[in-house]
Amino acid sequence: MIRRSEMKRHQIKAKQMLEQAGIVIRDDESIEIAELGLNEFEITGLSLVVYVNTDRYCGKELVLFPNQTCPEHRHPPVGQDPGKMETFRCRWGEVYLYVEGPREKSIRATIPKGSEPYYTVFHEIVLKPGQQHTIPPNTLHWFQAGPEGAIVTEFSSTSRDEFDIFTDPRIKRIPEVLEDEI
């Protein structure tokens, strides 16, 4: 759950990061706050700008505050669709991406306290500006911004966020927004 005033504060911070990176967001484009229902947005969550999402493809900006984590999840098949395939291209900052594969002996990211059992993949890919990685459909993955934050452009097949499967059963992809009392 997130208060409307808190959501607006995070949207302003995300827009400032985008501006700092030289990424222009039009006035008619909105910044979505994915609070994920854990009440710890600056630790676990992310901000998104969806440019386009059709039945064929999708383009987004993912804004992560310093050390913020998007928790482990996968994009499963939906009907005849095998699931979302996505390419992450780091535009600003540094992002630590974890996917299925050989486990690293140590990782750069810090798993959020109390959520350790819900992180199971530890093959690390470090993305710096200009570097990218493609994640196949239905692949477990999670990612965390470096100490300065990160902005990642996502190019993907159709995004159906409501079908994403998170390893942590406490997560709610669509946030509940509480109106501030007047």
Q: Which fold has domain 2-178?
A: Jelly Rolls (2.60.120)
Q: Nearest to residue 93, comparing CAs of 20, 163, 159, 40?
A: 20
3-state secondary structure of 4: helix
CA-to-CA distance for 30 and 48, rounded, in angstroms? 8
Whether residue 181 is predicted with pLDDT greater than 80 in this model: the reply is no
Q: Please state the three-class secondary structure of 108-159 as a single string.
A: CCCCCCCCHHHCCCCEEEEECCCCEEEECCCCCEEEEEEEEEEEEEEEECCC
The domains of the chain are located at 2-178
The pLDDT of residue 165: 97
Model confidence pLDDT, tens digit, residues 1-32: 889 999 999 999 999 999 999 999 999 999 99
What are residue 131's DSSP bridge partners?
none
Distance CA 60, CA 53 (A): 9
Position 15 scores a pLDDT of 97
Q: What pLDDT score does 178 carry?
A: 81
Contact 164, 75 (CB under 8 A): yes
Q: Tell me the per-residue pLDDT of 67-115, one tens digit each, with 9 for 90 and over.
A: 999 999 999 999 999 999 999 999 999 999 999 999 999 999 999 999 9
Render pLDDT for 29-56 as a digit per residue (tens, 0 to 9): 999 999 999 999 999 999 999 999 999 9
Other CB atoms within 10 A of residue 80 CB: 5
**Pick from 5, 4, 40, 76: which is nearest to 170 by CA?**
40
Angle at 23 between CA 27 and CA 97, to 5 degrees: 120
Position 174 confidence tier, pLDDT thresholds 50, 70, 90: confident
User: What confidence score (pLDDT) does residue 36 get?
Assistant: 95
Q: Output the CA torsion 98→56→31→25 (10° steps).
A: 110
C-alpha distances in Å from residue 77, one per residue of 50, 154, 181: 21, 19, 41
**pLDDT tens for each residue of 130-171:** 999 999 999 999 999 999 999 999 999 999 999 999 999 999
Residue 180: its pLDDT value, please?
A: 80
